Amino acid sequence: MQIGIVGAGSVGSALAKRWAAAGHRILLSYSRDPLKLGSVAHSAGPQAQVGSPREAVAFGEVVVLAVPWGAVDDALTQMGSLAGKLLCSTVNALKPDFSGLEIGTTTSAAEWIAERAVGATVVEALPLNAEILHAPSPLFGEVTPSMFYCGDAAEAKAVVAGLMAEAGMEPVDAGALVRARLVEPAGLLVAQLGYGLGVGPNVALKVLRR
Ligand SMILES: NC(=O)c1ccc[n+]([C@@H]2O[C@H](COP(=O)([O-])OP(=O)(O)OC[C@H]3O[C@@H](n4cnc5c(N)ncnc54)[C@H](OP(=O)(O)O)[C@@H]3O)[C@@H](O)[C@H]2O)c1
């Protein structure tokens, strides 16, 4: 599959590496430092190339938005039309100091993005813990960490779930996109727990069933 990634930070670079290793073709975009973009793509291997956000949209059968909340508006502007695209958002509306969410519980970053990404099908995937995806294995012992995905289109959700499983997470269907109002605070909780415990983002959720 061809995947366009907008944002080459912790999340974008981790997904690029894992998906390239799984055989997908990646176009990475959106850094203020073109050299960094090139070196991130290089470390993902020959399956990865760099381009502009607009090129990532044109390239991607799936387009991943992995930028900080404060950069979403600019990134969407640079991406151009998303009509007909599957947009996977990993965005959480975190305050820069992780102390809370800029928006949440009565709406969500995913819904905000879906309103602006006219014509796109938006699926959210969170909490997608970049640190554990950068590790040689994302497993905690023998346990695969869970992440939630939510959206309003079954087919698009299945594609995102498949990709997240390939990246090393257990995707858990959290329901419609409106559930992002719960998923995003869960992401904040994981981040705060990690930093509170002094292990940084190296902590994850596991959904148990019986
Ligand atoms: N990290 C995680 O474990 C994690 C987990 C769950 C959710 N998330 C969410 O996923 C999204 C991406 O997180 P991340 O940790 O990958 O972020 P990050 O490491 O800060 O990466 C942000 C990317 O956006 C680029 N960018 C371009 N213009 C920017 C601007 N004006 N301001 C800020 N960044 C700009 C950065 O490029 P340069 O810095 O190279 O210029 C970088 O490639 C966020 O919404 C975050 O809340 C992250």
Give alpha helix (H) positions in the chain. Answer: 10-21, 34-44, 53-59, 72-79, 109-116, 130-134, 154-167, 180-196
Q: How far apart are CA 143 and CA 76, in angstroms?
A: 36
Q: Convert the pLDDT of each residue in 128-176 to its tens digit.
A: 788 899 999 999 999 999 999 999 999 999 999 999 999 999 999 999 9
Tell me which fold the domain 2-196 belongs to.
Rossmann fold (3.40.50)
Strand order in the sheet with 25-29: 48-50, 25-29, 2-6, 62-65, 86-89, 121-126, 146-151, 170-175
What string of pLDDT tens digits covers the 210 residues of the chain? 999 999 999 999 999 999 999 999 999 999 999 899 999 999 999 999 999 999 999 999 999 999 999 999 999 999 999 999 999 999 999 999 888 999 999 999 999 999 999 999 999 999 878 889 999 999 999 999 999 999 999 999 999 999 999 999 999 999 999 999 999 999 999 988 888 777 777 899 999 999
| Residue 91 Cβ < 6 Å to ligand 1 | yes
The protein residue whose alpha carbon is closest to atom 30 in ligand 1 is 71
Specify the residue with its C-alpha closest to ligand 1, atom 48: 11
For ligand 1, the distance from its centroid to the CA atom of residue 93, given in whole angstroms, is 11
Q: Calculate how far, in angstroms, residue 70's C-alpha sits from the geometric centre of ligand 1.
A: 9
d(CA 206, CA 210): 13
User: Ligand 1, closest atom to CA 187?
Assistant: 6
| Atom 39 in ligand 1: residue holding the nearest Cα | 31
Q: Which of 5, 6, 11, 72 to mutate to test the pocket of ligand 1 (most atoms within 8 A of CB)?
A: 11
Q: What is the DSSP letter of 94?
A: B
Cβ–ligand 1 distance for 30 under 6 Å, the answer yes
* Domain spans, the chain: 2-196
